[in-house]
Amino acid sequence: MTTETVARGPRIGGQSRPVSSLGYALLAAIAREPLTGYALARLLRDPIGYFWETRHSQIYPELSRLERAGLIESSEQPGPGPRPKRTYAATAAGLAELRAWIARPSRFGGRRDELMLKVYASWLVEPSVTRDLARDARRHHSAQLELYLARDASARERGVDRAGFRNPSFADYLTLRRGIGYERGRLAWCDWVIDQLAAADDP
Amino acid sequence: MTTETVARGPRIGGQSRPVSSLGYALLAAIAREPLTGYALARLLRDPIGYFWETRHSQIYPELSRLERAGLIESSEQPGPGPRPKRTYAATAAGLAELRAWIARPSRFGGRRDELMLKVYASWLVEPSVTRDLARDARRHHSAQLELYLARDASARERGVDRAGFRNPSFADYLTLRRGIGYERGRLAWCDWVIDQLAAADDP
DNA sequence: ATCTCCATGTAACTCGTTACATGATTTT
DNA sequence: AAAATCATGTAACGAGTTACATGGAGAT
């Protein structure tokens, strides 16, 4: 029998718990450049928010935990409000942990799709309710797609699509391309559903 | 100044909180046919689990809450284990609440995508690590797509694609089509990333 | 005057996951 | 003999949301 060590993050202090997904999201942003909690909150709306959401009330405690674990370090400056402003930078240990996490096998899942849940129950309501549902979703995904396409165009103008895998901007571009694919897929599905509804209406 | 009542679910007992998304997921399943907590747990792995995940430990307390709110009702039968088996059925109030929820505007969001988070940080690692990441994801989405396509074929054989919007099986079919679109989109993106990596390797 | 941005935190709560606990029947 | 399926719950904790709290600088 061999003693196996489960790969699940650092235990620097001897008892700290493994880094959460949010922790890795913060680390990934800080790894690019030093940031304040406020700036992180902004990134976690856009663009990181497109694949990992949170609120500032979760960010500040998580930053403290990451610092206690030695994965980031902070410096204080005079702040605009009553409290000092704190800027966080990644440590060598933080970068190492982030790299190790990327290489670790991922759990596929974490699905939470309210629209599909509603569609699953849509047989209970008038087709017109389902139609409104699909139209509403269509509007949302259409607007989102336009935003992403504009960013894609600007990225290409800047030559980001040829920047290479070791360039952070290229990593952004990879996620942006998936965003575009996602919105297009949803849009097509909405159109198909609306089409099905029209076909069911007049025979 | 007018007194506005916010639409956020029933307050039958006078102090019950609004129904959670999980509550609606359970209601949507029970609305089709009476089910036990165990059967709900199975559905919340497959097929509901593809857009709303949970564990049985969350299901049992939520069922009690829904029953206390009068949205479902239960009957006891002798169970296989030490405790009696409990089968839940939707009440008229439950169906009404589910219908009202479908018509209420949805928040688009609830994104949690670990793969994209890793890709966002992928500039930190060797391209070979990113390649392994994409290949692993590709395998997963490929298997998932095959499963969905098999179900699609069997649904079409049974004529489900022509069943109409008031048929529960057709609602399943609508979500299945989205599942297929999703997996195809992810697969295409994985292939594109792997392609980009190959192009970056040899010039 | 009011709004938005910058900036940081806490309190109270709900949601979600992992582990514990039990036990008969059926399948491998 | 061991594993899976059916079946239901609780305990402990971690993750996530909403609301509260403060306050300067700059824009409308």
Residues B18-42: pLDDT tens digits? 999 999 999 999 999 999 999 999 9
Of A31, A105, A129, the CB nearest to B102: A129
Whether residue B176 lies within 8 A of chain A, CB to CB, comes out as no
Residues A100-150: pLDDT tens digits? 999 999 998 878 999 999 999 999 999 999 999 999 999 999 999 999 999
Higher per-residue confidence, A194 vs A110: A194
Tell me if B98 and A115 make a contact (CB, 8 A cut-off): no
* Cβ contact B133:B36 at 8 Å: no
Q: Kindly state the helix (H) or strand (E) to which residue B73 belongs, with its residue range.
A: strand B72-77
Taking every pair of Cα atoms in chain A, the longest distance, rounded to a whole number of angstroms, is 70
Could you tell me the CA-to-CA distances from A60 to A31, A41, A81, A188, B124 in Å, in that order? 17, 9, 16, 39, 24
Long-range contacts of B39-44 (CB under 8 A, 24+ apart): B40/B88
Q: Which nucleotide is nearest to A40 (CA to C1')?
A: C7
Tell me if B51 and A106 make a contact (CB, 8 A cut-off): no
Contacts of B158 (CB under 8 A, 6+ apart): B169
Scan residues 72-101 of chain A and list those with Cβ within 7 Å of strand D.
Answer: 80-83
Whether residue B161 lies within 8 A of chain A, CB to CB, comes out as no
Residue A202 pLDDT: 62
C1' (C24) to CA (B163) span, angstroms: 41
